[in-house]
């Protein structure tokens, strides 16, 4: 059998060089990405991981292979399955997710190393990735890295792996969809290349098809892999499309067949990824296309000067016509140069095609949210790096080695610094605003972070800034309503929720929040109507079931309330509170044993949940199990010693157990904490009267009456 032009004999020396190169790449990548392990979940990580019920069970696989419809993993079952593996390892602790992302990136870098090392082209002047029959520099070579394929591949893999532009695809956990797809993409190429020199080529090509299929289930950009692999074959192996097709027709038909499951996955998202990507998402295609001229030029600039990097560029529209024309001129010139090179300098043409074709799906299909996104450059960056390394080494010769090593060290340092920005959501969104002050999405998300950190007034300022930039932002109106409600500004909160629903009626969370605000304003009937509307929009929305259950219990509709609490329990995120409220409804219905079971379940999930212990104590009182009630009220006070209601409850049961002196001490402490607690005045009066202190009791009866408690005539 005639040897393949891509075969590289593996001498002992060669294997040592390969092992040394792989170790060097691993150590360098680990040093650059070590700070990423301190990163937190941010932005789209929440719906894709923290609120994704499909990753909570690894087996059966069918569950994890059906991702939710409103997250980054929608229509991407392989990526969703990978998150299920992480969840099985560490739950919502972030360390395993970062470890997996790093390993994926490292494997992608090592695979790129293998591809470059094994790629050989006729005519060194035509291509950046030249290999020879072994790792020795041939006579007449100009020096540098070109005569040493392992060193050349290492330089390229180092620069690509350590480039700061890759951080978004690695450190931003959910963007594993990009890096994992890229790994499958590169492995597909690598297996094809290995098949050319293997005595069992069908095994390698079968594996390539499987990997291509896995990539299709990870991200849609994988659709470009069969096209580029055929172009690779034509450029570096077959010499022409006709020859490549004639020799490997079955292989390419099998690769093309992987487009069919990809089409089914895209269809499962409504053909538009939940109304965010497609020609029917409200973004005019010509407007979007004009922005992509700037985007492509921006990606190229960041490839050579990766500063500043921006997590979110907002929904930017096209520049003025003159600027847009300049960007378009650059991109069209690049397209023309690629077409020319494909004819006269095929290897360079392949690099240009790699860059343009991989960017094509996200540049052609409009997005209603993201127009410039750095993670889109994860794979295209490889072409820029290869072309640059070739050009520099052709210019500087062996001196380029030092330059490349210094450049790799500098890129690694920049990557390590960039990774620290992901250590907190506050740092990430603050950095985004520093680079893009007019980014309404960054203002909105920083506001949400500030609310969680208790800085509600500062959050309101950011929400208002976001609305000045984009008044039609329904989500921002909703978030502003939440902040106002936190401050007790209920009327203003209601206005914001209503504005959000006017802009986007199909927001179950806004319907629910409006119901909560209406309840706080004393309008329970209106609140119930909004909870019911939220459930019409999303029948499985746990918070709406929970809030509707509370409202119905308040109206005395216990059977209905219990049913909604039971539906809410399907969402683990709300379980402690729902178990507690369900227990209270069951207690009110006289179902004491069931109530106790739910309080116990709440305490198993949250042992410091004082309200559940208090309610368990009240249930024991209703069952006349006073010693157990005293134990529960005592433990509740250990958790929340400054609770006046807790002291009143414990005092009441002590009084029932004929331990009046101890009871009076707790009633007095309750009144010290809250002098206006009417029940504590009444209970203290009863306790005082029971020990013959009638005059003091009369004073507390009077205080209870003034605070609104109706007393029988004998106590007036």
What token pair was written down for 565?
A: 């609490």
Q: What is the pLDDT of residue 368?
A: 85
Q: Judge whether residue 2 has pLDDT over 80.
A: no
Q: Judge whether residue 500 has pLDDT over 70.
A: yes
Q: What is the pLDDT of residue 570?
A: 84
Per cent of the chain over pLDDT 90 is 84
Q: What is the pLDDT of residue 133?
A: 36
- Given a contact cutoff of 8 angstroms between Cβ atoms, the answer to whether 113 and 28 are in contact is no
Q: What is the pLDDT of residue 1?
A: 36
Q: Judge whether residue 7 has pLDDT over 80.
A: no
Q: What is the pLDDT of residue 170?
A: 98
The phi and psi torsions of 367 (rounded to 5 degrees) equal -120, 140
Q: What is the pLDDT of residue 316?
A: 73
Q: Judge whether residue 637 has pLDDT over 70.
A: yes
Cα angle for residues 252, 256, 261 (degrees, 5° grid): 150
Q: How would DSSP label each residue in 290-306?
A: HHHHHHHHHHHHHHHS-
Q: Judge whether residue 541 has pLDDT over 80.
A: yes
Please choose, from the candidates 546, 543, 515, 509, the residue with its C-alpha nearest in 3D space to the C-alpha of residue 529.
Answer: 515
Output b/e per residue, 534-557; b: 16+ Cβ within 10 A.
Answer: bbebbeebbbbbbbbbbbbbeeeb
Half-sphere exposure of 402 (CA within 13 A, CB side): 4
Q: Judge whether residue 5 has pLDDT over 60.
A: no
> What whole-number distance in Å separates Cα of residue 337 and Cα of residue 383?
14
Q: Cα 326 vs. chain centroid, distance in angstroms?
A: 35
Q: Judge whether residue 131 has pLDDT over 80.
A: no
DSSP H helical segments within 436-473, as ranges? 440-452, 456-469
Output b/e per residue, 570-607; b: 16+ Cβ within 10 A.
Answer: ebeebbbbbbbbbbbbbbeeebbeebbebbebbbeebe
Q: Given 1.25.40.10, 1.10.220.150, 2.40.33.20, 3.40.50.1220, which CATH number is that of 642-716?
A: 1.25.40.10
Q: Judge whether residue 128 has pLDDT over 60.
A: no
Q: What is the pLDDT of residue 281?
A: 86
Indicate the pLDDT class of residue 714, thresholds 50, 70 and 90: low
Longest Cα–Cα distance in the chain = 116
Q: What is the rounded average pLDDT of the residues 577-589? A: 95
Indicate the pLDDT class of residue 11, thresholds 50, 70 and 90: low
- Given a contact cutoff of 8 angstroms between Cβ atoms, the answer to whether 473 and 507 are in contact is no
Q: What is the pLDDT of residue 315?
A: 82
What token pair was written down for 271?
A: 């053909």
Cis peptide bond prior to 705, omega within 30° of 0 = no
Residue 389: count other Cβ atoms within 10 Å of its Cβ.
26
> What whole-number distance in Å separates Cα of residue 69 and Cα of residue 276?
12
Q: What is the rounded average pLDDT of the residues 212-223? A: 98
Tell me: the pLDDT tens digits for 149-172? Answer: 899 999 999 999 999 999 999 999
Range with lowest mean pLDDT among 109-123, 444-458, 691-705 = 109-123
Residue 674: count other Cβ atoms within 10 Å of its Cβ.
15
Q: Cα 184 vs. chain centroid, distance in angstroms?
A: 21
pTM for this one? Answer: 0.85
DSSP 3-state assignment of 136? coil
Q: What is the pLDDT of residue 141?
A: 35
Q: Judge whether residue 573 has pLDDT over 70.
A: no
> What whole-number distance in Å separates Cα of residue 626 and Cα of residue 618?
9
Output b/e per residue, 321-346; b: 16+ Cβ within 10 A.
Answer: eeeeeebbeebeebeeebeebbeebb
> What whole-number distance in Å separates Cα of residue 478 and Cα of residue 443?
14
Q: Judge whether residue 125 has pLDDT over 80.
A: no
Tell me: the pLDDT tens digits for 428-474? Answer: 999 999 999 999 999 999 999 999 999 999 999 999 999 999 999 99
> What whole-number distance in Å separates Cα of residue 201 and Cα of residue 129?
23
What token pair was written down for 69?
A: 């419809």
Cα angle for residues 473, 476, 481 (degrees, 5° grid): 130
What token pair was written down for 603?
A: 């305490």
- Given a contact cutoff of 8 angstroms between Cβ atoms, the answer to whether 220 and 266 are in contact is yes
In the chain, CATH 1.25.40.10 sits at 642-716
Q: Which residue carries 């380029």 as its tokens?
A: 400
> What whole-number distance in Å separates Cα of residue 609 and Cα of residue 593?
19
- Given a contact cutoff of 8 angstroms between Cβ atoms, the answer to whether 152 and 116 are in contact is yes
Q: Cα 259 vs. chain centroid, distance in angstroms?
A: 26
Question: What DSSP character marks residue 277?
Answer: B
What token pair was written down for 195?
A: 């098949």
Cα angle for residues 124, 190, 235 (degrees, 5° grid): 40
Q: Judge whether residue 135 has pLDDT over 70.
A: no
What token pair was written down for 211?
A: 């990997």
- Given a contact cutoff of 8 angstroms between Cβ atoms, the answer to whether 299 and 359 are in contact is yes
Q: What is the rounded average pLDDT of the residues 203-220? A: 98
Tell me: the pLDDT tens digits for 312-367? Answer: 998 877 788 999 999 999 999 999 999 999 999 999 999 999 999 999 999 999 99
List of long-range contacts for 202-206, beta carbons under 8 Å, 24+ apart: 205/248, 205/251, 205/254
Please choose, from the candidates 159, 158, 190, 188, the residue with its C-alpha nearest in 3D space to the C-alpha of residue 23.
Answer: 158
Cα angle for residues 508, 512, 513 (degrees, 5° grid): 120
Q: Judge whether residue 378 has pLDDT over 70.
A: yes
Q: Which residue carries 């075969």 as its tokens?
A: 7
The phi and psi torsions of 277 (rounded to 5 degrees) equal -140, 125
- Given a contact cutoff of 8 angstroms between Cβ atoms, the answer to whether 177 and 47 are in contact is no
- Given a contact cutoff of 8 angstroms between Cβ atoms, the answer to whether 179 and 316 are in contact is no
SS3 per residue for 22-55: HHHHHHHHHHHHHHHHHCCCCCCHHHHHHCCHHH
Bigger pLDDT: 709 or 355? 355
Tell me: the pLDDT tens digits for 58-83? Answer: 999 999 999 998 899 999 999 999 99
């Amino acid at each position: 059998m005639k040897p393949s032009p891509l075969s590289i004999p593996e001498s002992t020396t060669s294997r040592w060089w390969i092992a040394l190169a792989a170790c060097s790449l691993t150590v360098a990548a680990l040093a650059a990405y070590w700070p990423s392990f301190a990163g937190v979940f941010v932005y789209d990580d929440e719906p894709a991981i923290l609120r994704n019920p499909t990753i909570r069970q690894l087996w059966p696989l069918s569950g994890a292979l059906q991702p939710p419809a409103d997250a980054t993993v929608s229509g991407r079952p392989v990526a969703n399955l990978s998150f299920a593996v992480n969840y099985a390892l560490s739950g919502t602790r972030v360390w395993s997710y970062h470890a997996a992302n790093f390993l994926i990136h490292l494997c992608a870098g090592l695979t790129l190393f293998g591809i470059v090392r094994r790629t050989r082209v006729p005519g060194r002047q035509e291509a950046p990735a030249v290999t020879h029959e072994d790792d020795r520099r041939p006579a007449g070579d100009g020096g540098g890295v070109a005569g040493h394929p392992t060193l050349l591949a290492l330089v390229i893999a180092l620069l690509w792996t350590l480039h700061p532009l890759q951080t978004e695809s690695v450190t931003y956990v959910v963007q594993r969809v990009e890096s994992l797809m890229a790994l499958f993409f590169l492995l597909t190429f690598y297996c094809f290349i290995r098949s050319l020199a293997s005595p069992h080529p069908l095994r390698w090509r079968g594996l390539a098809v499987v990997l291509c299929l896995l990539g299709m289930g990870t991200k849609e950009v994988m659709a470009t892999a069969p096209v580029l692999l055929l172009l690779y074959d034509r450029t570096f192996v077959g010499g022409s499309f006709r020859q490549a097709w004639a020799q490997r027709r079955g292989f390419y038909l099998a690769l093309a067949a992987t487009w069919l499951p990809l089409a089914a996955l895209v269809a499962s998202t409504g053909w538009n990824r939940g109304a965010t990507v497609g020609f029917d998402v409200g973004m005019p295609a010509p407007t979007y296309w004009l922005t992509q001229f700037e985007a492509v030029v921006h990606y190229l600039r960041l490839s050579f000067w990766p500063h500043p990097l921006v997590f979110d560029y907002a929904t930017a529209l096209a520049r003025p016509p003159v600027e847009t024309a300049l960007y378009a001129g650059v991109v069209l010139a690049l397209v023309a140069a690629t077409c020319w090179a494909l004819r006269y300098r095929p290897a360079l043409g392949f690099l240009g095609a790699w860059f343009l074709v991989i960017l094509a799906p996200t540049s052609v299909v409009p997005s209603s949210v993201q127009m410039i996104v750095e993670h889109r450059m994860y794979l295209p960056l490889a072409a820029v790096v290869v072309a640059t390394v070739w050009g520099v080494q052709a210019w500087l010769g062996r001196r380029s080695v030092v330059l490349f090593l210094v450049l790799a060290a500098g890129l690694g340092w920049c990557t390590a610094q960039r990774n620290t920005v992901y250590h907190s959501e506050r740092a990430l969104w603050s950095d985004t605003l520093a680079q893009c002050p007019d980014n309404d999405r960054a203002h909105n998300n920083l506001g949400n972070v500030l609310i969680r950190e208790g800085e509600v007034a500062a959050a309101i300022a950011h929400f208002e800034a976001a609305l000045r930039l984009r008044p039609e932002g329904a989500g921002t109106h909703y978030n502003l309503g939440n902040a106002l409600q936190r401050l007790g500004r209920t009327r203003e909160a209601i206005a914001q929720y209503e504005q959000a629903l006017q802009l986007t009626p199909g927001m179950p969370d806004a319907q629910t929040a409006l119901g909560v605000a209406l309840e706080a304003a004393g309008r329970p009937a209106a609140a119930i109507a909004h909870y019911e509307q939220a459930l019409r929009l999303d029948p499985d929305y746990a918070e709406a079931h929970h809030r509707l259950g509370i409202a119905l219990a308040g109206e005395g509709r216990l059977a209905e309330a219990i049913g909604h609490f039971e539906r809410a329990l399907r969402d683990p995120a709300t379980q402690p509170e729902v178990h507690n409220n369900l227990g209270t409804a069951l207690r009110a219905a006289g179902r004491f044993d069931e109530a106790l079971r739910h309080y116990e379940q709440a305490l198993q999930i949250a042992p410091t949940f004082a309200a559940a212990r208090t309610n368990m104590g009240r249930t024991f009182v209703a069952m006349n199990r006073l010693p157990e009630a005293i134990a529960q009220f005592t433990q509740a006070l250990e958790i929340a010693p400054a609770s006046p209601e807790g002291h009143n409850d414990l005092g009441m049961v002590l009084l029932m157990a004929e331990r009046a002196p101890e009871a009076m001490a707790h009633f007095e402490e309750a009144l010290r904490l809250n002098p206006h607690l009417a029940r504590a005045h009444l209970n203290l009066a009863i306790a005082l009267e029971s020990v013959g202190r009638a005059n003091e009791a009369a004073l507390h009866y009077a205080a209870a009456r003034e605070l609104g408690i109706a007393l029988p005539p004998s106590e007036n």
